[in-house]
Structure 1
Amino acid sequence: MSAKKGYDTKLPEDENTDSGFLSGEQLFSGELESGSNLDSDSKNLHSDTVDVNTDSGVVCISENLSLLDLDTPTEQPRREEPKNADIAILNVLFQQDEDGDSQLHIAAVHGCQKSVSTLINLCPDKSWLDMPNEYGHTPLHLAAMSGHEVITRMLVVAGASIAARDRRGQTPIHVATEMSQVECLKALLAPVKEHPTRKMSSILNQKNYNGQTCVHTAANTGHIKTLQTLVYYGADINMREGLAGSTALHIAARRGDVPLAQYLLAQCPGVERGARDWAGRSPRRLARRAGAARAFAALSSDSDSDSDDDDDAYDSDNESLFEKLRDNLNPINVA
C-alpha cells in the first residue's frame, strides 16, 4: 500500500510489554553512545557472559537478521529468465522501420546474399518472409525488381509467395516482367521440389489492379525475351486485359512494335490473330493505324483476308452510324 495515502498499517503495542527487541535496541544504542567499539575482544566478552540457553531476544533477532538477504525479499519468488529469449532478438531483426522495411527488405534490395540467408534461417514462420512494406512490396518484390536472381531464388525456395500483391496489385512476376529482369523471372517460375503443388497457370494469369497480366506487361515493354519466358512457363498469350479487352497482339499492334508482332504471329502458333477487343477491333486494324501493317502483310492468309473484310465492314458501319447521328442532331438555341 502506498505510504503517501497516510494509512497506519502498524499493529498497536502495549507499553508494558517488552518483546526483547526493545531492550536489545536500548543495549546497542547505549554502547554506541558510550563510544565503545564492537571489536573482536568485545565480541568474545559478550559471548562469554551470555548464556546460550537464555534467550533475551537479542541473540535470536541478531542471528535472524544476519541470515536475511535484504536485496532479495523472501516472500517474492526470484525472477526467472524468459524461456523464449530469442523472440526478442527476432523482433529486432524483423522489426519494420518508418517505411515498413525490415532487415530482410534492406538485404534483399541491396543483394546481400549472406544476410538474406541468415535471416531466412532465423525466420520462425514463412509468413514473415511475405511481410509487406508501406508500398506493399515484400522482400521478393524488391529482389525481383532489383535484378538479384540468386536472392530471388533463395526466397522462393524458402517459401516466399510469388503471388503476393503490392499496392498496385503487382506480383513479383509482374515487377520482374516490368523491369525486364529475365533471370529473376526464371528464378521465380522454375519448379521447386519443396513446393510441387504450385499452380503456375493461375499465378501467371493473375491480373493487377489495372486488369493486366504479366503477358500484357511484357507486351507493353516490348521485351521479346521476357514474353518468351512467360509463354514457356505456361502464360496464356491470348489473355484479355480488363480495361479494353486487348491481347498481347493488340498491344503490339497498337504500339507499332513490328518485331514483337512478328514474334507473336510467327513463333506463337496458338495466338489468336483475329481476336477482338471490347470495341470489336482486331490487331490488324490497330496495326494499320500504327504503321505496323507490314508485320501482318508477310503472314497474310485467308482468315486474315476475312478479318480485313470484317474490319472494313466495321469501319463503314461505324462511319454510317456517326453520319446518321450527326445529321439528326438538332442545334441547340442558346440565345
Structure 2
Amino acid sequence: MFSLQPEEHDPSLKSCDSEQMTPLHYAAMFGHTELVDFLANQESNLNALDKNKCTPLHLAASKNSWKTAKYLILAGADAKIQDKNGRTVLHTIVKHNGDLSRIIDEEVVMSLVPILNIQDRNGDSAFHIATTNGQIKSASVLLRLGASV
C-alpha cells in the first residue's frame, strides 16, 4: 500500500475536474472550513481559478460561508482576484445577498479596503450592487470602509 511521508503532499489534492475546480474549491463552496484548513496546509493553491475564474474565496462568499471565507482571507487568499465578470469577493458577497457585517472585522478589513471601488464588467462596484439590491447593512459597511458613492 502506498503511504505518504509526513513531508510529502498528495498531488491529487491539487487536481482539477472538468470545471477546473480543485478539492479546495468544493470544500470552500460547501463551507467545510476544517477541510479547507487541511487542504491549505497541504499547499493547495488558495487562488486557483475554476472555468469561471472563481477562486475558492469567491465560492465560499457566494454560499455565505463566512467562517470559510474569513479563514481563506486570513490564510492569504487574494481578495483582489476578479472572476470572468470582473467581480471581486465583495461583489460576490453582496450579489448573493450576503451580510458584509458578518465577515468584516479588524482581521480581514485590510484585505478588503483596497478592492472597495473596483468595478465589474457592468461598471458596478460592490456598493452599487448592495444599494440596488436594498442591502442596507452591507451598503453601510462599505461606506464606513470608504467606498465611493
Q: Same fold (TM over 0.5)?
A: yes
The residue identity in structure 1 corresponding to 2:105 is A
Supply the distance in 2 between the matched residues of 1:168 and 1:231 (Cα, whole angstroms).
23
Supply the distance in 1 between the matched residues of 2:112 and 2:46 (Cα, whole angstroms).
20
Structure 1 contact 111–151 (Cα < 8 Å) conserved: yes
The partner residue of 2:8 within 50, 66, 86 is: 86
Cα displacement (A) at 1:186: 4.3
The partner residue of 2:65 within 130, 145, 148 is: 148
Structure 2 contact 94–138 (Cα < 8 Å) conserved: yes
Residue of structure 1 in register with 2:135 after alignment:
223
Supply the distance in 2 between the matched residues of 1:150 and 1:199 (Cα, whole angstroms).
16
Structure 1 contact 135–166 (Cα < 8 Å) conserved: yes
Residue of structure 2 in register with 1:236 after alignment:
148
Residue of structure 2 in register with 1:190 after alignment:
105
Residue of structure 1 in register with 2:40 after alignment:
120
Identity percentage of aligned residues:
27
The residue identity in structure 2 corresponding to 1:118 is F
Structure 1 contact 136–167 (Cα < 8 Å) conserved: yes
Supply the distance in 2 between the matched residues of 1:147 and 1:176 (Cα, whole angstroms).
7
Cα displacement (A) at 1:93: 0.2
Give the TM-score normalised by structure 2.
0.87
Deviation digits for residues 222-278 of structure 1 (CA, Å, limit 9, x no counterpart): 2212211211222112xxxxxxxxxxxxxxxxxxxxxxxxxxxxxxxxxxxxxxxxx
Deviation digits for residues 107-153 of structure 1 (CA, Å, limit 9, x no counterpart): 111111211111112216xxx10101001110000000101100011
The residue identity in structure 2 corresponding to 1:161 is D
Structure 1 contact 182–229 (Cα < 8 Å) conserved: no
Residue of structure 2 in register with 1:162 after alignment:
79
Q: Are residues 199 and 215 of structure 1, via their aligned partners in 2, closer, same or farther at CA, if it must alter by over 3 Å?
A: closer
Residue of structure 2 in register with 1:19 after alignment:
none
Cα displacement (A) at 1:101: 0.7
| SS of alignment partner, residue 129 of structure 1 | coil
Say yes or no: does 1:208 pair with 2:125: no
Residue of structure 1 in register with 2:94 after alignment:
177
Structure 1 contact 136–165 (Cα < 8 Å) conserved: yes
The residue identity in structure 2 corresponding to 1:190 is D
Say yes or no: does 1:103 pair with 2:18: no
Give the alignment's Cα RMSD to 1 decimal: 2.2
- The higher relative CO (CA closer than 8 Å, separation ≥ 6) is in 2
Structure 2 contact 79–112 (Cα < 8 Å) conserved: no
Runs of 4+ aligned structure 1 residues displaced above 2 Å come to: 189-193
Supply the distance in 2 between the matched residues of 1:199 and 1:95 (Cα, whole angstroms).
29
Supply the distance in 2 between the matched residues of 1:230 and 1:160 (Cα, whole angstroms).
20
Residue of structure 2 in register with 1:292 after alignment:
none
Supply the distance in 1 between the matched residues of 2:80 and 2:112 (Cα, whole angstroms).
10
Say yes or no: does 1:138 pair with 2:60: no
Structure 1 segment 33-52 matched on structure 2, within 5 A: none
Cα displacement (A) at 1:217: 0.8
Gaps of 5+ in 2: none
Larger Rg: 1
Give the structure with the higher percent helix: 1
Structure 1 segment 12-27 matched on structure 2, within 5 A: none
Supply the distance in 2 between the matched residues of 1:190 and 1:105 (Cα, whole angstroms).
24
Supply the distance in 2 between the matched residues of 1:123 and 1:213 (Cα, whole angstroms).
32
Aligned length: 144
